[in-house]
Structure 1
Amino acid sequence: MVDDPADYSWSSYQSNGLGKRVKLLTPHPQYLKLGKTDEERQSCYRELFRYQVEGKLLDDIRKAANKGLVLGSKRFVEEVEALTGKRLREGKRGRRVGWRKERDLV
């Protein structure tokens, strides 16, 4: 898309990260918690975009987002599944091995 988040015209980065006043933008409560002053908040916000996500991590994030899965450690995924009552990790695709034998027994 762009090399610098400030170059993307539809992003709130110019306001949140650089302090540009935008009449249409209302600061989000989470943004306001980044610091006590405008300068602190802008500095913390810029730090969020300091590094690019690439390679396998980017692929894993896309896969989880596209499939509605949880991304994290095994323990974290299990805890989220327990809280939601839903399976949120990828399962094996296709039918179970031996499903035809089970069908023939009925």
Structure 2
Amino acid sequence: MPRKQRMYLSGVPAHVVQHGNYRESCFFQDEDYQFYLAVLGDALRRYRMQLHAYVLMTKHVHLLMTPTDESGISRVMQACMFCM
């Protein structure tokens, strides 16, 4: 059974947590963090999102961002998914 679609409202900040596969480590060296931030920055610009705060931890990421439309967060997270 598929997961229910998440609802994000335009202009309302959302806290998003992204875990590595099976909650295993996804960042092993400094270059991994830098690559993730570069991909995230590109996606934020492409989908016109505001990033207010972030925390990159070894096994997961916390993001506080505000979408300009209802699909912005989903699109940004899809763009960053291959990094994890």
TM-score by length of 1: 0.22
- Relative to its length, the structure with more strand (as a share) is 2
Higher RCO structure (Cα 8 Å, ≥6 apart): 2
So what's the TM-score if we normalise by structure 2? 0.27
Considering only CA atoms, is the larger Rg found in Structure 1 or Structure 2? 1
